Amino acid sequence: MTEIRINGIVFEAGQGTLLGDLVTRECSGGGPMLSLPCGGHGRCGKCRVVARGALSPLSEAERRLLSQEEIGRGVRLACCTTVEGDCSIELVGRDNGQIRTVGDMPDIVLRPAFDAYGFVLDIGTTTLAARLYDVKGTLLAEGSRLNPQAGWGADVISRIEADLRGEGGKLTQAICKAVDGLVEELAAKARIGQKEIDGLVITGNTVMLHLLTGTSTEPLSHAPFAAQRLFGETVTAEKTGLISVLPQTEVYLAPCAAAFVGADLITALLAGGLCDTGDTKLLADIGTNGEMALWHGEELYCCSTAAGPAFEGAGISMGMGGSKGAIDRVAVRDGKLAVHVIGDAEPVGICGSGVVDAVACLLETGQMDDTGYIEEESAVISEPVIFAQNDVRMVQLAKSAIHAGIRTLLHSANLECGDVRALLIAGGFGSFLDVENAAKIGLFPEEMLPCIRVIGNAALSGASMLLLNKEYRGACEKYAAQAKIVELSTNPFFADEYMERMLF
10-residue mean pLDDT profile of the chain (504 residues): values are 77 86 63 62 79 92 84 89 89 52 76 98 92 96 90 87 95 95 96 98 97 96 90 97 97 97 97 94 88 96 85 79 88 96 91 94 96 92 94 94 96 97 88 90 94 93 97 97 95 97 93
pLDDT on residue 101: 53
Using the CB atoms, write b or e for 317-348: b if 16+ within 10 Å.
Answer: bbbbbbbebbbbbbeeeeeebebbbbeeeebe
Residue 31, pLDDT score: 46
Question: Residue 338: beta bridge partners?
Answer: 331
Exposed/middle/buried for residue 166 (C-beta within 10 Å: 0-12, 13-18, 19+): exposed
Question: b/e string for 414-426 if b means 16 or more Cβ within 10 A?
Answer: ebebeebebbbbb
- Write out the DSSP string of 202-252: EEE-HHHHHHHHT---GGGGSTT---S----EEEEHHHHT--SS-TT-EEE
Give helix 492-500 / helix 389-412 axis angle, nearest 10°.
Answer: 140
What is the C-alpha separation between 486 and 469, in angstroms, rounded? 31
Q: What pLDDT, on a 0 to 100 scale, did the predictor assign at position 209?
A: 98
* Residue 34 confidence (pLDDT): 66
- Amino acid at the residue 17: T
Characterize 358-375 residue by residue with b for buried, 16 or more Cβ atoms within 10 angstroms of its Cβ, and e for exposed.
bbbbbbeeebbeeebebe
Cα dihedral across residues 247, 201, 310, 332: positive or negative: negative
pLDDT on residue 474: 97
Q: Which residues partner with 341 through β-bridges?
A: 327
CA 385, CA 404: separation in Å to the nearest integer? 30
Return d(Cα 127, Cα 399) in angstroms, integer: 20
* pLDDT of res. 437: 96
Pairing of strands 299-305, 290-296: antiparallel
CA distance 147 to 128: 6
Measured between alpha carbons, how far is 336 from 355 in angstroms, rounded to an integer? 16
Q: Are the C-beta atoms of residues 281 and 295 closer than 8 Å to each other?
A: yes
Instruction: Tell me the DSSP string of 424-489.
Output: EEESHHHHT--HHHHHHHTSS-GGGGGGEEEEESHHHHHHHHHHHBTTHHHHHHHHHHH-EE---T
Q: Interior CA angle at 475 toward 469 and 481, to 5°?
A: 145
Cβ-based neighbours of 373, under 8 Å, separated by 6 or more:
389
For 293, the 3-state DSSP assignment is strand
Nearest CA-CA partner of 184 in 130, 234, 125, 114: 130
Work out whether strand 452-456 and strand 9-13 pair parallel, antiparallel, or are unpaired: unpaired
* Distance between CA atoms of residues 391 and 351, nearest Å: 12
Structural domains in the chain plus CATH codes: 2-90 (3.10.20.30), 117-266 (3.30.420.480)
- Residue closest to 454 by CA, chosen among 496, 434, 425: 425
What is the rounded distance in angstroms from the CA atom of residue 129 to the CA atom of residue 43? Answer: 29
- Say what the pTM is: 0.82
Q: Please answer whether residues 466 and 424 qualify as being in contact, where contact means their C-beta atoms are separated by less than 8 angstroms.
A: no
For the beta sheet containing 326-333, the strands, ordered from the edge strand earlier in sequence to the opposite edge, are 336-341, 326-333, 349-350
